[in-house]
Amino acid sequence: MNDTERQALLSAMQDEEAIVREWIQETLSGASGASDAGRRTLQAEATELLGTLREALRSGADAARLADPAWSRVREVLESLSRSRAAQGQNAADTSLFILSFKRPLFTRLQGSDPRAALGTVWAVSLLVDRLAQWTVSTYQQTREEIIRRQQQDLLELSTPVIKLWEGVLAVPMIGTLDSGRTQVVMETLLERIVESGSTLAIIDITGVPTVDTLVAQHLLKTVSAIRLMGAECIISGIRPQIAQTIVHLGIDLQGIATKASLADALALALHQRGYTIQRESATS
């Protein structure tokens, strides 16, 4: 964008109120409607972006290089807009459409007496708005990926709770596929709780693990080894007949590790190892 085109664009952007109004109308064209709060949000976003864009153009910023420092404030506004919409669950298409709708009110004001000069300015403005929209979509995608990764991490932590069953006895009920990521979360969470509570025995319940293969067994063995390094012992519960057959067939060595068919049996063993005796209270007449 040369100086002539820049000045033409700055001149076209003078009527801020009208541009923002037409911008919002273009954004909402074909939509079922927007609430008053939604319109106010759009107006605030459009007004802020228009103002920062005008400042960047006045400073002589190169429209072809949005990564330059001169565009820093514009990038901040675009990124804030994208992150806000991504967090609200809006899609990338609507976010991009909002920026692209900025073209119509600008094009309307760029029509001049010299068609050839106006055509060059329109083309330069079109490229600039397209770059703004592209930057917005890129930021939106990065934000969505961050949200997904954070949600996955939250789900991992929620799916591997550490429960205190008895004094000195912790339990971790495993549900779903046990992979490297979940194993790491289990080990970190469990070891932290062992240190915090001073527990000496941990029960890993795999009742909810659908299948046990060599990789899953390796993850379990690593977890048991880490627990033992902390001075605690481990019991694996939830060993169903199918899983027992698979472990034998794969030649997986679980010697030295106590195993039980159910969490109740594992808890009974844990209490016995800690010196507790469980007796049924006799019925009184």
| Domains in the chain with CATH codes | 3-154 (1.10.490.130), 163-273 (3.30.750.24)
| Residues counted in the chain | 285
Structure tokens at 253: 């060595």
SS3 of residue 259 by DSSP: strand
3-state secondary structure of 119: helix
Amino acid (1-letter code) at residue 231 = G
How many angstroms separate the CA atoms of 128 and 112, rounded?
20
Q: What is the pLDDT of residue 91?
A: 79
pLDDT in tens, the chain (285 residues): 677 778 888 888 888 888 888 888 888 875 555 677 778 888 888 888 888 888 888 888 777 788 888 888 988 888 888 888 877 777 788 888 888 888 888 888 887 655 666 777 888 888 888 888 888 888 888 887 887 777 766 666 556 688 888 888 999 888 777 777 777 777 888 888 899 999 999 999 988 888 777 787 888 888 888 889 888 999 999 888 888 888 888 787 777 888 898 999 999 999 888 888 877 776 554
From the number of C-beta atoms within 10 Å of its C-beta (0-12, 13-18, 19+), residue 252 rates as middle
Ranges assigned E (strand) in the chain: 163-166, 169-175, 201-208, 233-237, 258-260
Tally Cβ neighbours within 10 Å of residue 16.
13
Long-range contacts of 264-270 (CB under 8 A, 24+ apart): 265/237, 266/171, 266/203, 266/205, 266/235, 266/236, 266/237, 267/165, 267/166, 267/169, 267/171, 267/203, 269/235, 270/165, 270/166, 270/169, 270/201, 270/203, 270/235
Closest to 247 in 3D by CA, of 215, 199, 203, 277: 215
Distances in Å between the Cα of 165 and the Cα atoms of 6, 42, 125, 260, 271 are: 71, 53, 67, 16, 10
Q: What are the phi and psi torsion angles at 37 (to 5°)? A: -65, -40
Angle between helices 36-58 and 72-87 (to 10 degrees): 160
| Strand, coil or helix: 166 | strand
- CA 188 to CA 145: how far, in whole Å? 24
Q: What pLDDT shows up at residue 285? A: 47
Bridge-based pairing state of the strands 258-260 and 163-166 = unpaired
Helix (H, G, I), strand (E, B) or coil at 257: coil
Q: Give the integer Cα–Cα distance in Å for 253 and 234.
A: 15
Beta strands at 169-175 and 163-166: parallel, antiparallel or unpaired: antiparallel
| Bridge partners (DSSP) listed for residue 260 | 237
